[in-house]
Chains A and B, each alone.
Chain A
């Protein structure tokens, strides 16, 4: 039986999450708070974990963030999250083929880890439910700020996930795919990964399913000295699902992280990326593709902290907006006062293909060091008429020509990944999307 704190404690800054909270709770807020009461006895965790859960639900009781909270300016969660499905004990889904052939798969089926843990050389895998029960992951459960609604939601409800430890110097011979699959109800998972010094790995985070579920997923990655990781997030939720995800990483000395994010589904999607360089010489690359269709809302928000000197980063985001889709990209680069010699560049390009679609972008630079080179660029435009003309003059019909140009626009980002197996696999996902939304 979990230990509960006697009375709700004051959470510093929690009131900031929604400073203009209306006394009236929305149906979604009520559903979440009620669900917590019902689930509480089923949630794993020792006293420390349960205290974190209490704090987290208190933050949600203060209200979900509205557009008045700066980091949620374009995604008014309070308004957009209209309903929350109840937990569905009958939900049952099956593992699927991995994105890259031959990958080792770690499935989470409707929020539950697999019965048998795979045996991969150099990799230790543990169930998160066990780590919650023994309390060893409690310190990492804190939301990263007063406006971290996803972190709070996940901390309150997280029941399972994986803890993956890649040993120092290990070089994985095949990719590791973490599958988070859902069919109905609610799923709250957390994926913790530590990559040891000098280790190399390719990890796929697969987020998909088939039902109108509410999914919260938090991935935490720590890179040791000289570690090199390619992390691919492939999000293909059905267009009835709400997907609230967070990717947090700490980059050690001389480590390299290439993060690729593909959003190609979901009704309401928020993917947060929170990265901090903690060792000199660290390099971070973000490549993102957002393929938006239907009446959906997709938000990618990145906060990148250059906290030490001599670190580099580049971010390239490409967006394609069709139908009535609304897209958001917020990217903030913070360069701390002592982070001299930082080199950071960010670009966000958007193709707006329909008059009913919209895209909002907010690329921010916050710079406190003087000896840095930082820049960002952002464009929003339609297909270049000259390009279209060029292709059509060669006998290609307009629809195909448009298709080619749009595909080329996003494929450019994939090709940069420079690994044939990955590029082929991702282009196959891309083709899939174009087939259904072309």
Chain B
């Protein structure tokens, strides 16, 4: 759509100020002093009641981190981060075992209410004891008509509660916070933690390894199809804190799991740092589907405030015929620096990446994927849709490589960008590296506005202009929305609507 004045005016007025989740909650917090040092890491480790090997692991990462430089190759600009001016640990003060909702800190409940989490679920999330599981199931059934969802809620540095643990345990699935996993299942954590994203991987991943405070842990044993969707809700609440969560998902032979993360943060003038690490491991015939609806606070209309989202996500298709699929809807964050990748190690394994990145206001997105083909007959597919509006910069950066032994590697990449307004930028930076003659790589990218023809076609059917544009944008992102679990597809569609409101109706 060319610069229809009306649209431009609306773009100016909109969006970031409409951030729905910008509220802040006053909750009594336990905090470590500001700054980063070995003592802080010892403090975090002690708070978490961690075994000594874990502390050693963290300290090693920290020492390594001190030797690293911040990466600067991405197409993003921001003032230098003062890593000593951040709280590395903040947790809601625990009150011993509330027995009903009335005992729970009302502020905490308000948070969940604002997030749209229904009462019953709130009760569980607030850690009310003796809650009847069946009662909750009923509640949950009402919310998600098409299926139930187990939720792990992470509030600043700690996991507040995990639901449906019992039922999942019956199926043999372990779903808990990573801190709990370190205590309860050290053998699994020891075996897999850092095996996909080593502590030495990159600046932010190494920082995360040193100071991660919580996150989710999922283990799906051999042959088990996880009976429900798993979900984590991240909420950054406390001022000047950084959130460093660590997620580890393991699907053993023939297992299947679908996992979704969602995130929000209050509206603030300062920038906050979020540096997460996600590791996925799929053994023979296993499948992991990982979906993200990222809606961190993007900053205000002048580009003030917002979350710096520097995330390392990587999946390892370790087994033969394994499959890892990333789906992401990125609408939030002031800066996004994120490249969910697949290492296709097992023969016949496959990786997928579906992404919608919407940027508005002064947001900067530099996101994409890496598909590393190592095994024979591996295949990967990348569909990326970027929509840039306002003054934002939206970059797709992706790498596809086939190594010497990756016979018959196949890749298809499609990245399309849509520009709304003439103050924004859309960029495509794909890297293709073939070292095997049987590799077959295809890449296509287009950048355009909404064509007059398309708009005319829809409008001549009696649909008003703004609606017509919304319809076309929905069509533009449909390939990706379809990959989301049903419950969240609706949420994602709404999010895109809110993010672009005014610019596309």
Chain A interface residues (CB < 8 Å from chain B)? 70, 73, 337, 340, 350, 352-355, 357-382
Contacting pair B430 A378 (CB below 8 A): yes
Task: Assess the A366–B443 pair: CB atoms within 8 A.
Answer: no
Pairwise interchain contact A359-B422, C-beta atoms closer than 8 A:
no
Give the nearest-CB partner of B445 in chain A: A376
Asked if B420 lies at the interface with its beta carbon under 8 angstroms from chain A, I say yes
| B residues less than 8 Å from A360 (CB atoms) | 431-434
Closest A residue, CB atoms, query B448: A373
Q: Which residues of the other chain, B, contact A366 by a CB distance below 8 angstroms? A: 425, 427
- Complex Cα gap A314–B146 (Å): 49
Given A70-B73, A358-B434, A370-B419, also A363-B443 (CB < 8 A) = yes
Q: When A70-B73, A375-B447 are in contact, do A382 and B437 touch as well, CB less than 8 Å?
A: yes
Chain B 385-428 interface residues, beta-carbon cutoff 8 Å to A: 404, 417, 419-428
**Smallest CB gap from B438: residue in A:** A382
Contacts of B421 in A (CB 8 A): 370
Q: What's the minimum C-beta distance from A76 to chain B, rounded to whole angstroms?
A: 14
Q: Which residues of chain B are near A365, meaning CB under 8 Å? A: 417, 426-428, 445, 447
Q: Which residue of A lies closest to B72 (CB)?
A: A19
Whether B434 and A370, one on each chain, are in contact in the complex, defined by CB atoms closer than 8 angstroms, is: no
Expressed in whole angstroms, the Cα–Cα distance for A357 and B422 within the complex equals 43
Q: 15 other contacts beyond A367-B426, A371-B2, A380-B432, with CB at 8 A cut-off? A: A350-B434, A359-B433, A360-B432, A361-B431, A362-B429, A367-B447, A369-B419, A369-B422, A371-B3, A374-B448, A377-B442, A378-B432, A379-B442, A380-B441, A381-B441
Contacts of B24 in A (CB 8 A): none
Question: Whole-angstrom distance from the CB of A352 to the nearest CB of chain B?
Answer: 5
Bound-state CA distance A369–B435 (Å) is 36
CB-based contact A380/B440 at 8 Å = yes
Q: What is the interface of chain B, defined by CB distance below 8 A to chain A?
A: 1-3, 73, 404, 417, 419-449
Asked whether A374 and B432 contact (CB < 8 A) given A352-B437, A364-B427, A380-B441, the answer is no
- Provide the residues of chain A in CB contact with B439, threshold 8 Å: 352, 380-382
Instruction: Note all chain A residues with C-beta closer than 8 A to B440.
Output: 379-382
Contacts of A367 in B (CB 8 A): 417, 419, 425-427, 447
Q: Tell me if A374 and B447 are in contact (CB < 8 A).
A: yes
Question: Which of B1, B432, B435 has the most A CB atoms < 10 Å from its CB?
Answer: B432
* Distance from B339 Cβ to chain A, minimum over Cβ atoms (Å): 15
Closest to B431 in A: A362
Cβ–Cβ < 8 Å partners of A357 in chain B: 435, 437
Across the interface, which residues of A come within 8 angstroms of B425, CB to CB?
Answer: 366-368
- Among residues of A, the one whose C-beta sits closest to the C-beta of B2 is A371
Contact between chains at A371 and B422 (CB < 8 Å): yes
**Sample (27) of A-B pairs whose CB atoms are under 8 Å apart:** A350-B434, A352-B439, A353-B437, A357-B435, A358-B435, A360-B432, A361-B431, A363-B445, A365-B417, A365-B427, A370-B1, A370-B424, A371-B449, A372-B419, A372-B448, A373-B447, A374-B446, A375-B446, A375-B447, A376-B443, A376-B445, A378-B441, A379-B441, A379-B442, A380-B441, A382-B439, A382-B440
**Which residues of chain B are within 8 angstroms of A377 by Cβ–Cβ distance?**
442-445
Min CB gap A272→B, angstroms: 18
> Which residues of chain A are within 8 angstroms of B445 by Cβ–Cβ distance?
363, 365, 375-377
Separation of A377 and B414 alpha carbons in the complex (Å): 9
Please name the 3 residue pairs, one residue from A and one from B, whose CB atoms are nearest each other, closest first.
A370-B419, A375-B446, A358-B435
B402's nearest neighbour on chain A, judged by CB, is A380
Contact A352 to B434, CB < 8 A, known contacts A337-B422, A365-B428, A366-B427:
yes
Q: Closest CB of chain B to A268's CB: distance in Å?
A: 19
Q: Which residue of B lies closest to A384 (CB)?
A: B440
A236 CB to nearest chain B CB (Å): 25
Instruction: Tell me the complex Cα distance, A427–B160, Å.
Output: 71
Task: Kindly provide the distance from the CB of A64 to the nearest chain B CB, expressed in whole angstroms.
Answer: 19
Please, how many angstroms separate the alpha-carbon atoms of A366 and B424 in the complex?
A: 11
CB distance from A291 to the nearest CB of B (A): 16
**Could you tell me the distance between the alpha carbons of A369 and B438 in the complex, rounded to whole angstroms?**
39
Q: Which residue of chain A is the closest to B427 with respect to CB atoms?
A: A366
- Closest chain A residue, CB of each to CB of B444: A377
- Chain B residues near A361: list those with CB within 8 A: 431-432
Q: How far is the CA of A107 from the CA of B126 in the complex (A)?
A: 83
Pick the contact of A359: B417, B430, B434, B442 (CB < 8 A).
B434
**Chain B contacts of A340 at CB under 8 A?**
422
Residues of B contacting A373 with CB < 8 Å?
Answer: 446-448
Q: List, in ascending order, chain A residues with CB within 8 A of B443's CB.
A: 363, 376-379
Which of chain A's residues has its CB closest to B408's CB?
A382
Measured CB to CB, the nearest residue on chain B to A321 is B437
Most buried by B among A372, A376, A378, A380: A380
